[in-house]
Chain A
Amino acid sequence: MSPAHSVDLAFWYILGISLVLLLGITAVMVIFVVRYRRSRHPVPGDIRDNLALELVWTVIPTLIALSMFYMGWKSYISLRTVPEDAMQVEVTAQMFSWIFTYENGRESENELVVPLGRAVKLNVSSVDVVHSLYIPAFRIKIDAVRGMTTYAWFQADEQGEYDIQCTEYCGTGHSAMTARLRIVPEQEYLAWLEAEE
C-alpha cells in the first residue's frame, strides 16, 4: 500500500467513527430535549451519576482514541520510510519560489519533473524564513528550515501534473509560492534532465 493510501485509510477510519459519534450524540441530545420538555415532563428525575455508565464511556473512547492513534502512526511511518532505490532531489525554498536541484546539477525553478514509476526523495531546506513543501496529491508536507535538511518522499506512480504549495506562512508572496510537479515517462524525463535550462 502506498503511503498516500495508508493516510487515506486513516482519514476514512477516523472520520467514519467521528461521524457516527457526532450523529449519535446529536440525535440523543435532540431526542432528550423533545421528550423531556417541561410541558410534557414537568417533574424531573434526580439522577446524579452512574459509575458503570461513566466507566464505560471513559474506557471505550480511550480504546477508540488509541486505535485512531495507531492508524495515524502507521500511516505516518509509511510517509517517513523511504525506499532504498529512491532518486534524490534537493529542494531549496526561498521567498517566494522553489528551486529543485538534480543529482547531475540541473536546476529548475518552480517545476519538479520526475520519471514515472520511481520513488522520489526530496531533501528540503530553506535559504531564508521557514517554508513548507506541500504536495496534496501525495499527502506529503515538510517544513523547509534554514540550517537543517528535512525530507519527504512519494511514489510517482501516475503520470500527470500536480500542485506544489507553500504551507508555512512566509510573507507577502506566500500564496503565490506555488510550483508544478510533472510525472512523465522515463524517456521524456531523461530528455528534460539534459536539456538547457
Chain B
Amino acid sequence: MTAAQSYLEQSSPPGRTGWKAWLLTHDHKRLGLMYLWAILFWFVLAVILGLLMRTELMGMGRTIMGPEAYNSMFTLHGVIMIFLFGIPAIPSIFGNFFLPIQLGADDVFFPRLNLLSWYLFMFGGGFAVFSLFSGDGFPDTGWTFYVPFSISSAGNVSLTVTAAFILGMSSMLTGLNFVTTFHRMRDKAMGPMQIPLFTWSLYATAWVQILATPVIAITFVLVVLERFLSIGLFEPDKGGDPLLYQHLFWMYSHPAVYIIILPAMGVISEIIPAFSRKSIFGYKAIVYSSLAIAIAGSLVWAHHMYSSGMSDVSVFVFSLLTFLVAVPSAVKVFSWVSTMYKGSIAMSPPFFLSLCFIYLFTVGGLTGLVLGAAGTDIHVHDTHFVVAHFHFVMLGGTGFAFFAALHYWWPKMFGVMYRNRPAYVGAVAAAVGFVFHFVPMLILGMQGMPRRYYDYLPQYETGNFLAGFGAYLLVFGLLLMLLNLVFSLRNPRTAPANPWGGTTLEWSIPSPPPVENFTDSPNIKDFPYDFSEIVSNSNK
C-alpha cells in the first residue's frame, strides 16, 4: 500500500475534500480522531480546574478564589471529567477506531449514526459551556445535582443537566453502534472466543450505556420539570422524596463508573500480552468477568447512600452485592499479573503505564472495600477518602489506561513514532505525583475532612498543603506526555505496521490503516493472543 491510500488521505465517502472530508465523514477512524481532539481539550481544561482547586486548598481561608468560584469549579471539574472525558474517552476514541478493525470489519454498523453521535457530543459540550455564561450564574451543585439543592439553587442547573442529557444521547448511540457492529459486522470466521478482549470489554460496556443512560436522562428531565413546574416528585412538602432522586441518580451513575473502567481494563488486557509476548492468562475468565461486572455493577448503586437515611435492610443488601462485584475485578488483576509469568517482557511507555495502572487501580479497588463495608463507610463517606478512592480508580485506572492506549495505538493511528524518553519522564512524574497527591487525601479523609470543602478546620492544613505539590507534579507529567505525542506528529510517517509485536487484527494492516481497513480479507486466528508466529519470526 502507498501512503496515499491511508484514511488520512482518502475520504469516506470518496471524493470529499477539505473540511467536508472531516465534518461529514462516515469513517470510524476519522471520527475517532475527531473525538480525540475534542476530548483532549476537555481533559486539559478539567485538569487545570482541578489544579486551581487544589491550589486554593493549599492554605486555609481564601487563597486564590472565593467559595462561589470554588463550588462552581468542582461542579465543572466533575461534569467535564465524567461526561466529557471519563465516559466517552476510551470508547469514543479507541473504540471507534479499533473495534471495527479488531472484528475484521470495514466500519461500524451505522456510520451516519456514528457521525451524529459526534455532533451530539460537540453540541452537548457546547451547551455545557453556554450554561456557564447565561442565566443567573454558574451551576454550583456538584456533578451529582442532589435535590432539593439543585431545585432551589440560583445557578444555571437546567441548562447544565440538559447538556448532560444530550451527552447521554451521544453515549447511547455509540453503545448501540458497538453492539450492532459486534453482532452483525464481525468476520464470519471469528467466533465469540476469538474476539480480542478490548472489543469484548467495549461490548459489555455498550450494553450498560444503552440500558442505564435512559435512567439518568429521565432523572434530569424530572429535575428540569421540578425547577420550572414544581411538580413535587422530589419535594418533601408536596409528598415527594429526595431519596428517590438519589436512587435514580446512582442507578445510572454507579453503572457509569463501570462504563468508565471496563474499557480501560480492556486496554490493559491488550497491552500486557503484547509486551509480554505471551497469551493473556485466563482469556475466558476475563471475558466472563467483564460481563459479570457489567451485570452485577448495575445492582450496587445504593452503596452511595448508606448514610442517606434509607433502611438498614437496603444497606445490608447493597453492601453484600458490592463485595461480590469486587471479585471479578480481582480476577482480572490476577490474570494480568500472571500473564507476565514466563513472558518475554519488553519495557515501553504503554507497558510502563499499564504497570502503573495495575498498581493504582489495585489501590482504588482495595480502598473501595472500606467504602463497601457498611460500618467503615459511615465514617469516610463524603470525605476526602472517597475523593481519593475514586480518583485512584478513575484517573489512576482509566486515566492511566487512556494514556497507555494513546502510547500503544498512536503509531497505528497516525503512522508516526514518538520519543520514548519524554514519555517515560512524563509517566514517572504523573505516577509519583499521583501517589503524593492522593495518598494524603486518603489520610485526610480518615481523619475526617469532608469533600467539597472550600475551607477546612486547622488540623487538616498540613495534609492539604502537601497534597498540592503532588498535584503539580502529576499535571506536569500528564502534559509532558501529551505534548510529546503532539510533537511526534511532525515526524515522518514511518511507523511499521506492527511496531510492538501485537497479535490482534489492527497490527496486520498498515499504519495508518487504509480507508476500509483491510485491502485483503483478514486472517482470523483461532486464538487472538497466539504469539507463536511473532516469537518464531523474531528468532530467525
Q: Which A residues form the contact surface with B (CB < 8 A)?
A: 3, 6-7, 10-11, 14-15, 18, 21-22, 25-26, 28-29, 32-33, 36-38, 41-50, 53-54, 57-58, 61-62, 65-66, 68-69, 71-80, 128-130, 132, 134, 136-137, 139-143, 145-148, 150, 163, 165-176, 178
Which of A58, A76, A178 contacts B374, CB < 8 Å?
A: A76
B67 adjacent to A173 (CB under 8 Å)? yes
Q: Mark B253-281, 1 if CB is under 8 A from A, else 0.
A: 00000000000000000000000111111
A38 adjacent to B344 (CB under 8 Å)? yes
Cα-based distance from A182 to B115 in the complex (angstroms)? 62
A35 to chain B, nearest CB (A): 9
Which of B309, B374, B379, B535 contacts A143, CB < 8 Å?
A: B309
A72 adjacent to B309 (CB under 8 Å)? no
Besides the contacts A47-B279, A72-B376, what 7 more A-B pairs have beta carbons closer than 8 Å? A7-B379, A25-B333, A41-B342, A48-B280, A50-B282, A74-B375, A169-B451
Most chain-B Cβ atoms within 10 A of its Cβ — which of A6, A139, A143? A143
Known: A7-B378, A71-B373. A134 touches B448 (CB 8 A): yes
B340 to chain A, nearest CB (A): 4
Chain B residues, Cβ within 8 Å of A132:
307, 382
Query: In chain B between 371 and 386, which residues have their CB closer than 8 angstroms to a CB of chain A?
Result: 372-379, 381-383
A130 adjacent to B242 (CB under 8 Å)? yes
A167 adjacent to B148 (CB under 8 Å)? no
A41 adjacent to B379 (CB under 8 Å)? no
Which of B278, B306, B330 contacts A44, CB < 8 Å?
A: B278
B148 adjacent to A33 (CB under 8 Å)? no
Cα-based distance from A140 to B381 in the complex (angstroms)? 10
Cα-based distance from A53 to B285 in the complex (angstroms)? 12
A61 adjacent to B326 (CB under 8 Å)? yes
Known: A48-B283, A54-B285, A73-B375. A36 touches B146 (CB 8 A): no
Known: A10-B376, A68-B373, A71-B373. A171 touches B343 (CB 8 A): no
A172 to chain B, nearest CB (A): 5
Which of A47, A50, A74 contacts B278, CB < 8 Å?
A: A47
A57 adjacent to B330 (CB under 8 Å)? yes
- Asked if B476 lies at the interface with its beta carbon under 8 angstroms from chain A, I say no
Cα-based distance from A154 to B142 in the complex (angstroms)? 31
- Asked if B111 lies at the interface with its beta carbon under 8 angstroms from chain A, I say no
Cα-based distance from A28 to B529 in the complex (angstroms)? 23
- Asked if B243 lies at the interface with its beta carbon under 8 angstroms from chain A, I say yes
Chain B residues, Cβ within 8 Å of A143:
307-309
A44 adjacent to B342 (CB under 8 Å)? yes
* Tally of contact residues, B, Cβ under 8 A: 91
Complex: chain B residue closest to A57, CB-CB: B334
Most chain-A Cβ atoms within 10 A of its Cβ — which of B344, B372, B527? B344
Chain A residues, Cβ within 8 Å of B372:
68-69, 72
- Asked if B194 lies at the interface with its beta carbon under 8 angstroms from chain A, I say no
A165 adjacent to B450 (CB under 8 Å)? yes
Cα-based distance from A65 to B365 in the complex (angstroms)? 12
Cα-based distance from A7 to B376 in the complex (angstroms)? 6
Q: Mark B309-335, 1 if CB is under 8 A from A, else 0.
A: 100100110011001101100110110
B447 adjacent to A69 (CB under 8 Å)? no
A71 to chain B, nearest CB (A): 6
Chain A residues, Cβ within 8 Å of B2:
none
Complex: chain A residue closest to B241, CB-CB: A147
B343 adjacent to A41 (CB under 8 Å)? yes
Chain B residues, Cβ within 8 Å of A169:
71, 141-142, 146, 149, 382, 451-452
A36 adjacent to B382 (CB under 8 Å)? no
Query: In chain B between 342 and 367, which residues have their CB closer than 8 angstroms to a CB of chain A?
Result: 342-347, 355, 358-359, 362-363, 366-367
A72 adjacent to B340 (CB under 8 Å)? no
17 sampled A-B residue pairs with Cβ under 8 A: A7-B375, A7-B378, A11-B376, A22-B362, A42-B344, A44-B342, A45-B342, A49-B285, A68-B369, A73-B373, A74-B375, A130-B146, A136-B447, A137-B448, A150-B309, A175-B452, A178-B457
Most chain-B Cβ atoms within 10 A of its Cβ — which of A7, A69, A148, A173? A69
A69 adjacent to B320 (CB under 8 Å)? yes
Cα-based distance from A38 to B527 in the complex (angstroms)? 23
Chain A residues, Cβ within 8 Å of B377:
72
Cα-based distance from A16 to B347 in the complex (angstroms)? 32
Chain B residues, Cβ within 8 Å of A28:
337
A17 to chain B, nearest CB (A): 8
Cα-based distance from A1 to B363 in the complex (angstroms)? 30
Known: A41-B342, A168-B146. A141 touches B355 (CB 8 A): no
B67 adjacent to A38 (CB under 8 Å)? no
Chain A residues, Cβ within 8 Å of B488:
none
Cα-based distance from A3 to B378 in the complex (angstroms)? 12
B448 adjacent to A175 (CB under 8 Å)? no
Known: A29-B337, A48-B279, A75-B376. A37 touches B345 (CB 8 A): yes
- Asked if B284 lies at the interface with its beta carbon under 8 angstroms from chain A, I say yes
A57 adjacent to B331 (CB under 8 Å)? yes
- Asked if B456 lies at the interface with its beta carbon under 8 angstroms from chain A, I say yes
Which of A14, A79, A130, A134 contacts B369, CB < 8 Å?
A: A14
Known: A32-B341, A36-B341, A36-B342. A76 touches B307 (CB 8 A): no
A34 to chain B, nearest CB (A): 9
